[in-house]
A and B are shown apart, each in its own frame.
Chain A
């Protein structure tokens, strides 16, 4: 699905619908359980978003809409995100609620060192996918704090 430039009205409508859908949940999406649980959930969302974005970029590159040279930095960044997400997963997998005081700073250190951010391209639909992945990165970083 390639997005035309005249998308501001559907964008606003989608924003409204998404907002309404999120507020329909019983307790809302931002109610914390524990920091460990939210980190696992946010990291899962990042891994899934990153995987989808990487596949989307490969598809768009194969279609010829962007060149391999344009795709390369984003695909390399997706690889870095996957490795960092895996490092976070390994810590949370071995961790417990009791060990969060040690694991939390460890995860923050991993995220700080990785400096995750997917670069923009010159293709609007790819940049939307990149924005989704970058927002998922922000979500994980904010959630671990």
Chain B
């Protein structure tokens, strides 16, 4: 599947999903990155680490609060 089509699927699904506007905007900004502008890779990598750490913490907290 072409990358452009997948990007459209991601952004369209994001619009319809129950997600925050700020989150959708930041994801769309990442996916529509202008190749003429060098990406700030260090910041993107830091943000990715923050997002993954936050998700992991949240998952662990939810699982602890909802034991099987």
The answer to whether A and B come from one shared complex is yes
Using a CB–CB cutoff of 8 Å, the interface residues on chain A facing chain B are: 1-3, 7, 11, 14-15, 18-19, 21-22, 25-33, 37, 40-41, 43-45, 47-56, 58-60, 68, 71-72, 75-76, 78-79, 81-83, 85-86, 89, 92-93, 125-126, 128-129, 131-132, 135-136, 138-139, 142-143
Inside 8 A of A44's CB, which chain B residues have their CB? 30, 44-45, 47-48, 51
The A/B interface has a contact count, at CB < 8 Å, of 189
With beta carbons under 8 angstroms apart, the residue of B20, B28, B41, B56 that contacts A40 is B41
| Cα A83 to Cα B49 with chains together (Å) | 10
Tell me the dominant secondary structure on chain B's binding face. helix
Total number of B residues with any Cβ neighbor in A under 8 Å:
51
| Cα A60 to Cα B18 with chains together (Å) | 9
B17 near A83 with CB under 8 A, answer no
B51 near A26 with CB under 8 A, answer no
B17 near A29 with CB under 8 A, answer no
A68 near B66 with CB under 8 A, answer yes
Given A93-B45, A138-B6, A139-B7, A11 and B16 contact (CB-CB distance below 8 Å): yes
A30 near B55 with CB under 8 A, answer no
| Cα A139 to Cα B16 with chains together (Å) | 19
Inside 8 A of A18's CB, which chain B residues have their CB? 8, 11-12, 15
Given A14-B15, A47-B52, A89-B45, A79 and B4 contact (CB-CB distance below 8 Å): no
Inside 8 A of A85's CB, which chain B residues have their CB? 48, 51-52
| Cα A22 to Cα B3 with chains together (Å) | 12
